[in-house]
Structure 1
Amino acid sequence: MPCRFINISNDLKAITKLIQKELGYGAMNEEDVLIQLKAMEKSDQYQSIVFEKDGEVLGFAGLAYLYAYETKGQYARLIALAVREDKQHTGIGSSLLAYAQTCAKAHAASDIAISSGLCRQQAHTFYEQKGYKKKGYTFTKQL
Protein backbone atom coordinates (compact mmCIF):
# COMPACT_ATOMS: atom_id res chain seq x y z
CA MET A 1 0.00 0.00 0.00
CA PRO A 2 1.43 3.40 -0.91
CA CYS A 3 0.19 5.01 2.32
CA ARG A 4 2.56 5.31 5.25
CA PHE A 5 3.19 7.41 8.32
CA ILE A 6 5.20 10.54 7.65
CA ASN A 7 8.92 11.05 7.98
CA ILE A 8 9.13 14.74 8.85
CA SER A 9 12.58 15.37 7.41
CA ASN A 10 11.74 13.69 4.08
CA ASP A 11 8.11 14.82 3.71
CA LEU A 12 8.10 18.37 5.08
CA LYS A 13 8.41 20.19 1.74
CA ALA A 14 5.67 18.16 0.05
CA ILE A 15 3.28 18.44 3.01
CA THR A 16 3.88 22.19 3.22
CA LYS A 17 3.03 22.57 -0.49
CA LEU A 18 -0.16 20.55 -0.04
CA ILE A 19 -1.17 22.66 2.95
CA GLN A 20 -0.49 25.88 1.04
CA LYS A 21 -1.90 25.00 -2.39
CA GLU A 22 -4.56 22.35 -1.91
CA LEU A 23 -5.88 23.34 1.52
CA GLY A 24 -5.44 27.06 0.87
CA TYR A 25 -3.33 27.95 3.90
CA GLY A 26 -0.68 29.96 2.06
CA ALA A 27 0.42 31.74 5.22
CA MET A 28 1.83 28.46 6.57
CA ASN A 29 5.49 28.17 5.64
CA GLU A 30 7.85 25.22 6.14
CA GLU A 31 8.98 26.43 9.55
CA ASP A 32 5.35 26.76 10.72
CA VAL A 33 4.47 23.29 9.44
CA LEU A 34 7.60 21.81 11.00
CA ILE A 35 6.67 23.24 14.40
CA GLN A 36 3.17 21.78 14.14
CA LEU A 37 4.36 18.36 12.96
CA LYS A 38 7.00 18.11 15.69
CA ALA A 39 4.41 19.00 18.34
CA MET A 40 2.01 16.39 16.94
CA GLU A 41 4.77 13.78 16.76
CA LYS A 42 5.26 14.04 20.55
CA SER A 43 1.69 12.87 21.20
CA ASP A 44 0.07 9.55 20.41
CA GLN A 45 -3.14 11.54 19.86
CA TYR A 46 -2.03 12.48 16.33
CA GLN A 47 -1.13 10.51 13.24
CA SER A 48 0.10 12.00 9.96
CA ILE A 49 -0.05 9.90 6.80
CA VAL A 50 1.26 10.38 3.28
CA PHE A 51 0.46 8.73 -0.04
CA GLU A 52 3.71 8.15 -1.89
CA LYS A 53 4.35 6.83 -5.38
CA ASP A 54 7.79 6.42 -6.93
CA GLY A 55 9.30 8.34 -4.01
CA GLU A 56 7.02 11.34 -4.47
CA VAL A 57 4.42 12.45 -1.90
CA LEU A 58 1.14 13.05 -3.75
CA GLY A 59 -1.22 13.47 -0.79
CA PHE A 60 -1.45 13.49 2.96
CA ALA A 61 -3.94 13.12 5.78
CA GLY A 62 -3.88 13.91 9.47
CA LEU A 63 -5.81 12.34 12.32
CA ALA A 64 -6.43 13.49 15.87
CA TYR A 65 -7.96 11.34 18.60
CA LEU A 66 -10.34 13.07 20.97
CA TYR A 67 -12.97 12.42 23.59
CA ALA A 68 -16.48 13.77 23.26
CA TYR A 69 -19.52 13.76 25.46
CA GLU A 70 -21.70 11.98 22.90
CA THR A 71 -19.38 9.05 22.06
CA LYS A 72 -18.09 6.08 23.98
CA GLY A 73 -14.33 6.16 24.18
CA GLN A 74 -12.29 8.19 21.75
CA TYR A 75 -13.28 9.23 18.28
CA ALA A 76 -11.00 10.14 15.39
CA ARG A 77 -11.12 13.50 13.64
CA LEU A 78 -9.65 13.76 10.18
CA ILE A 79 -8.01 17.17 10.54
CA ALA A 80 -6.50 17.29 7.06
CA LEU A 81 -6.79 15.49 3.75
CA ALA A 82 -5.15 16.87 0.62
CA VAL A 83 -4.16 15.46 -2.75
CA ARG A 84 -2.00 17.28 -5.27
CA GLU A 85 -4.34 18.94 -7.78
CA ASP A 86 -2.92 17.17 -10.85
CA LYS A 87 -3.41 13.80 -9.09
CA GLN A 88 -6.97 14.32 -7.85
CA HIS A 89 -9.65 11.87 -9.03
CA THR A 90 -7.08 9.05 -9.29
CA GLY A 91 -7.93 7.14 -6.09
CA ILE A 92 -5.31 8.75 -3.87
CA GLY A 93 -7.90 10.44 -1.65
CA SER A 94 -9.78 7.16 -1.33
CA SER A 95 -6.57 5.37 -0.36
CA LEU A 96 -5.72 7.99 2.24
CA LEU A 97 -9.24 7.91 3.67
CA ALA A 98 -9.26 4.09 3.83
CA TYR A 99 -5.85 4.06 5.54
CA ALA A 100 -6.99 6.75 8.01
CA GLN A 101 -10.08 4.68 8.83
CA THR A 102 -7.89 1.60 9.38
CA CYS A 103 -5.64 3.63 11.70
CA ALA A 104 -8.69 4.93 13.59
CA LYS A 105 -10.04 1.41 14.08
CA ALA A 106 -6.63 0.22 15.29
CA HIS A 107 -6.64 3.12 17.76
CA ALA A 108 -10.04 1.86 19.03
CA ALA A 109 -11.88 4.98 17.84
CA SER A 110 -15.65 4.64 17.96
CA ASP A 111 -16.31 7.09 15.10
CA ILE A 112 -14.49 9.27 12.62
CA ALA A 113 -15.44 12.88 11.89
CA ILE A 114 -14.37 15.36 9.22
CA SER A 115 -14.79 19.12 8.91
CA SER A 116 -14.78 20.48 5.37
CA GLY A 117 -14.98 24.08 4.22
CA LEU A 118 -18.30 25.29 2.83
CA CYS A 119 -16.72 26.06 -0.55
CA ARG A 120 -15.37 22.52 -1.00
CA GLN A 121 -18.39 21.00 -2.73
CA GLN A 122 -16.35 18.30 -4.50
CA ALA A 123 -14.92 17.20 -1.15
CA HIS A 124 -18.42 17.05 0.35
CA THR A 125 -19.58 14.81 -2.49
CA PHE A 126 -16.48 12.63 -2.04
CA TYR A 127 -17.11 12.16 1.68
CA GLU A 128 -20.81 11.44 1.16
CA GLN A 129 -19.93 8.81 -1.46
CA LYS A 130 -17.67 7.23 1.15
CA GLY A 131 -20.57 6.91 3.63
CA TYR A 132 -20.07 10.07 5.69
CA LYS A 133 -23.17 12.00 6.78
CA LYS A 134 -23.56 15.73 7.30
CA LYS A 135 -24.02 16.33 11.01
CA GLY A 136 -23.70 20.08 11.49
CA TYR A 137 -21.57 23.13 10.98
CA THR A 138 -18.15 24.00 12.32
CA PHE A 139 -17.79 27.52 13.70
CA THR A 140 -14.42 29.13 14.31
CA LYS A 141 -13.19 32.37 15.81
CA GLN A 142 -9.61 33.58 15.76
CA LEU A 143 -8.30 34.41 19.23
Structure 2
Amino acid sequence: MIRQATTADLKAVYDIIEETSHYTLDFQVFAQTFVDQLGSLDRKMGVYEEDGEIMGFVGILCTWQLYIGYRVAETKELAVSPKYRDRGIRDELLAWAENVARESGCGILSMCSRIEHTDSHEYYKSQGFHESFYRFDKEIALKKR
Protein backbone atom coordinates (compact mmCIF):
# COMPACT_ATOMS: atom_id res chain seq x y z
CA MET A 1 0.00 0.00 0.00
CA ILE A 2 1.21 3.50 -0.78
CA ARG A 3 0.45 6.40 1.51
CA GLN A 4 1.71 9.91 2.19
CA ALA A 5 4.98 9.91 4.10
CA THR A 6 4.97 11.17 7.69
CA THR A 7 7.64 12.07 10.23
CA ALA A 8 7.29 8.55 11.65
CA ASP A 9 8.77 7.26 8.36
CA LEU A 10 12.00 9.26 8.70
CA LYS A 11 14.38 6.47 9.76
CA ALA A 12 12.98 3.90 7.32
CA VAL A 13 13.19 6.34 4.40
CA TYR A 14 16.70 7.36 5.44
CA ASP A 15 17.76 3.70 5.49
CA ILE A 16 16.37 3.08 1.98
CA ILE A 17 17.92 6.24 0.52
CA GLU A 18 21.24 5.61 2.28
CA GLU A 19 21.31 2.04 0.97
CA THR A 20 20.62 3.07 -2.64
CA SER A 21 22.49 6.41 -2.80
CA HIS A 22 25.97 7.02 -4.14
CA TYR A 23 26.61 9.51 -1.33
CA THR A 24 27.38 9.36 2.36
CA LEU A 25 24.35 10.94 4.01
CA ASP A 26 24.42 12.97 7.21
CA PHE A 27 21.40 11.78 9.22
CA GLN A 28 20.81 15.16 10.90
CA VAL A 29 20.82 17.02 7.58
CA PHE A 30 18.63 14.32 6.03
CA ALA A 31 16.17 14.51 8.95
CA GLN A 32 15.86 18.31 8.78
CA THR A 33 15.41 18.20 5.01
CA PHE A 34 12.82 15.40 5.24
CA VAL A 35 10.76 17.27 7.85
CA ASP A 36 11.02 20.54 5.89
CA GLN A 37 9.84 18.78 2.73
CA LEU A 38 6.90 17.20 4.54
CA GLY A 39 5.72 20.72 5.35
CA SER A 40 6.13 22.04 1.80
CA LEU A 41 3.10 22.48 -0.45
CA ASP A 42 5.26 21.78 -3.52
CA ARG A 43 6.71 18.50 -2.21
CA LYS A 44 4.77 15.25 -2.35
CA MET A 45 6.27 12.17 -0.71
CA GLY A 46 4.91 8.66 -0.58
CA VAL A 47 5.99 5.41 1.01
CA TYR A 48 5.20 1.84 0.06
CA GLU A 49 4.38 -0.11 3.20
CA GLU A 50 3.43 -3.73 3.88
CA ASP A 51 2.85 -5.20 7.33
CA GLY A 52 4.30 -2.10 8.97
CA GLU A 53 7.54 -2.17 6.97
CA ILE A 54 8.54 0.64 4.59
CA MET A 55 9.87 -0.95 1.39
CA GLY A 56 10.02 2.00 -1.00
CA PHE A 57 9.87 5.77 -1.25
CA VAL A 58 9.05 8.36 -3.89
CA GLY A 59 9.39 12.13 -3.69
CA ILE A 60 8.33 14.69 -6.27
CA LEU A 61 8.65 18.47 -6.49
CA CYS A 62 5.83 20.32 -8.27
CA THR A 63 6.92 23.69 -9.64
CA TRP A 64 6.02 26.17 -12.35
CA GLN A 65 8.58 26.10 -15.13
CA LEU A 66 8.95 29.42 -16.93
CA TYR A 67 10.37 27.84 -20.08
CA ILE A 68 7.38 25.47 -20.40
CA GLY A 69 4.58 27.65 -19.04
CA TYR A 70 2.94 25.15 -16.66
CA ARG A 71 3.60 23.02 -13.61
CA VAL A 72 6.07 20.17 -13.81
CA ALA A 73 6.49 17.37 -11.29
CA GLU A 74 10.14 16.42 -10.98
CA THR A 75 10.73 12.99 -9.49
CA LYS A 76 13.49 13.73 -7.00
CA GLU A 77 13.67 10.30 -5.37
CA LEU A 78 12.43 6.87 -6.34
CA ALA A 79 13.96 4.12 -4.25
CA VAL A 80 13.05 0.57 -3.33
CA SER A 81 14.98 -1.43 -0.76
CA PRO A 82 17.14 -3.93 -2.68
CA LYS A 83 15.64 -6.85 -0.73
CA TYR A 84 12.18 -5.98 -2.10
CA ARG A 85 13.02 -5.31 -5.74
CA ASP A 86 11.29 -7.29 -8.49
CA ARG A 87 7.98 -7.13 -6.62
CA GLY A 88 6.42 -4.32 -8.67
CA ILE A 89 6.87 -1.73 -5.91
CA ARG A 90 8.67 0.69 -8.25
CA ASP A 91 5.70 0.49 -10.67
CA GLU A 92 3.25 1.33 -7.91
CA LEU A 93 5.35 4.21 -6.56
CA LEU A 94 5.71 5.68 -10.05
CA ALA A 95 1.95 5.37 -10.69
CA TRP A 96 1.27 7.06 -7.35
CA ALA A 97 3.65 9.91 -8.24
CA GLU A 98 1.94 10.37 -11.60
CA ASN A 99 -1.51 10.52 -10.01
CA VAL A 100 -0.40 12.95 -7.31
CA ALA A 101 1.31 15.13 -9.93
CA ARG A 102 -1.83 15.19 -12.08
CA GLU A 103 -3.97 16.06 -9.04
CA SER A 104 -1.51 18.87 -8.24
CA GLY A 105 -2.03 20.44 -11.66
CA CYS A 106 1.20 19.26 -13.26
CA GLY A 107 1.32 18.60 -16.99
CA ILE A 108 4.62 16.70 -17.02
CA LEU A 109 6.23 14.14 -14.75
CA SER A 110 10.00 14.21 -15.23
CA MET A 111 12.63 11.77 -14.06
CA CYS A 112 16.40 12.06 -13.66
CA SER A 113 18.52 8.93 -13.68
CA ARG A 114 22.24 8.32 -13.35
CA ILE A 115 23.95 7.69 -16.69
CA GLU A 116 25.22 4.29 -15.56
CA HIS A 117 21.72 3.04 -14.67
CA THR A 118 20.93 1.83 -18.17
CA ASP A 119 18.41 -0.78 -16.95
CA SER A 120 16.47 2.02 -15.26
CA HIS A 121 16.54 4.07 -18.47
CA GLU A 122 14.90 1.23 -20.37
CA TYR A 123 12.34 0.84 -17.59
CA TYR A 124 11.43 4.55 -17.70
CA LYS A 125 11.06 4.41 -21.47
CA SER A 126 8.73 1.42 -21.07
CA GLN A 127 6.65 3.57 -18.71
CA GLY A 128 6.16 6.32 -21.32
CA PHE A 129 9.09 8.61 -20.47
CA HIS A 130 11.30 9.92 -23.27
CA GLU A 131 14.73 11.52 -23.23
CA SER A 132 14.40 15.29 -23.34
CA PHE A 133 17.33 16.89 -21.47
CA TYR A 134 20.88 16.41 -20.38
CA ARG A 135 21.71 17.29 -16.81
CA PHE A 136 25.17 18.48 -15.89
CA ASP A 137 26.42 18.32 -12.30
CA LYS A 138 29.50 19.80 -10.71
CA GLU A 139 30.47 18.52 -7.27
CA ILE A 140 31.39 21.43 -5.07
CA ALA A 141 31.06 20.05 -1.51
CA LEU A 142 29.67 16.50 -1.59
CA LYS A 143 31.17 13.40 -0.02
CA LYS A 144 31.08 10.32 -2.20
CA ARG A 145 31.05 6.79 -0.85
Q: Same fold (TM over 0.5)?
A: yes
- Offset of residue 23 of structure 1: 2.5
Please state if 1:73 is matched with 2:56: no
C-alpha distance after superposition, 1:90-117 (max 9, x if no partner): 1000000000000000001011111100
| Separation (CA, whole Å) in 1 of partners of 2:134 and 2:12 | 30
Partner of 1:3: 2
> Alpha carbon RMSD of aligned pairs, Å?
1.3
| Separation (CA, whole Å) in 2 of partners of 1:11 and 1:30 | 13
**2:111 paired residue among 109, 114, 122:** 114
Q: Is the 1:50–1:58 contact (alpha carbons within 8 Å) kept by the matching residues of 2?
A: yes
| Separation (CA, whole Å) in 2 of partners of 1:61 and 1:55 | 17
C-alpha distance after superposition, 1:34-78 (max 9, x if no partner): 111122123201011100011000000000012223323211000
Secondary structure of residue in 2 paired with 1:90: coil
Partner of 1:13: 11
Structure 1 alignment gaps of length 5 or more: none
Q: Is the 1:45–1:66 contact (alpha carbons within 8 Å) kept by the matching residues of 2?
A: yes
Identity %: 24
Hey, which bits of structure 1, 4+ residues long, moved more than 4 A?
Answer: none
Please state if 1:55 is matched with 2:91: no
Secondary structure of residue in 2 paired with 1:4: strand
Partner of 1:23: 21
- Offset of residue 31 of structure 1: 1.5
Q: Is the 1:3–1:52 contact (alpha carbons within 8 Å) kept by the matching residues of 2?
A: yes
Could you tell me which amino acid in structure 1 is paired with residue 93 of structure 2? L
Alignment size in residue pairs:
140
Secondary structure of residue in 2 paired with 1:124: helix
**2:133 paired residue among 106, 131, 136:** 136
Could you tell me which amino acid in structure 2 is paired with residue 23 of structure 1? S
Secondary structure of residue in 2 paired with 1:48: strand
Structure 2 alignment gaps of length 5 or more: 141-145
